[in-house]
Amino acid sequence: MVFVLLPFLDVVKRSFTTAVTGEFSGGKNYEAIFQNQAFLLAVKNTVRFTLICIPVLVALGLGTALLLSGLKKGRLFKAVYLLPLAMPTATVTLVWKLVFYKQGFFNLFLTRLGLLTGLWGEVHREYLGTAAAFWVLVGSYIWKNMGYTVVLWLAGLSGISGEMLEAARVDGAGSWQRFWRITLPNLKGSLYTIVILSFLNSFKIYREAYLTAGAYPDQSIYLLQHLFNNWFVNLELDKMAAAAVCTGGVLMSAILALQRLWENG
């Protein structure tokens, strides 16, 4: 209540007042943000990023967990997958810059491959300053969050009764039938936790985007957090408060909708 609820209620109050004088302004701040092209662009990019990353992360994590669950030395692979979580964001960003800038390792690899095959010449494509930056950000998010996703899936898989799976196999159920009828239904709790965590973490990708391309990156990776940061720097706290209330409402609505969906599923 002290550190979350009361400060958020203060933000709600500020969303109906002016930034400088604190006078009541009604819904003018909300009207202003929904007419702001930068806000609409940031919302579009954030929604696009979330809708692409979460299904890919969930599917890849489950596939990897299914493969690791059958290995005897699974603990070593768990440590490898959790390594990105321990790496500082600044270090990860530096790695992406070294890989994807104009004279980076990725272009060097493509150049060598083209020369070996004779299919193309030197490659000097700019990634971080073009629309390709969006897919670099997607890859960074999946790489960094794959570890906890795999571990949570493995925890869910370990809770499924082996006797139940063996009985289904004896009864003639194939691998796909066992997965679809037994494994997947028993992973509903894990799926809910992973989707919620992935959804919340997708709003934290701003650090990578900001350190990679600055406060005004390519339009494809201009996210809500960029807009909030720029409004804060310009002391447009009334707009930032209104946008924060809208964002918080959407997040809460999405989480409640997912919870109801899982409870009724």
Q: pLDDT per residue over 223-236, tens digit each?
A: 888 888 888 888 88
How are the residues of the chain apportioned to helix, strand and coil, as percentages rounded to the nearest 5? 75, 0, 25
User: What confidence score (pLDDT) does residue 30 get?
Assistant: 93
Cβ-proximal residues to 144 (8 Å cutoff; 6+ apart), any chain: 84, 85, 87, 92, 208
**Looking at residue 21, what is its pLDDT?**
81
Widest Cα–Cα separation across the chain: 75
pLDDT tens, 81-90? 667 777 777 7
Distance CA 167, CA 160 (A): 13
Q: By C-alpha distance, which of 52, 6, 42, 39 is closest to 198? A: 52
The amino acid occupying position 178 is R
**Which pair of structure tokens corresponds to residue 250?**
């959407």
Task: Measure Cα distances from 244 to 2, 19, 217, 233, 258 in Å.
Answer: 18, 14, 21, 15, 21
pTM over 0.85: no
Residue 166 burial (C-beta neighbours within 10 Å; 0-12, 13-18, 19+): exposed
Of residues 197, 202, 168, 199, the one with CA closest to residue 182: 168
CB 218 within 8 A of CB 130: yes
pLDDT digits (tens, 9 = 90+) for 22-67: 888 888 999 999 999 999 999 999 899 999 999 999 999 999 888 8
Positions in the chain short of pLDDT 50:
none
| The CA-based dihedral angle spanning residues 39, 257, 188, 264, taken in that order and rounded to the nearest 10 degrees | -160
pLDDT at 40: 92
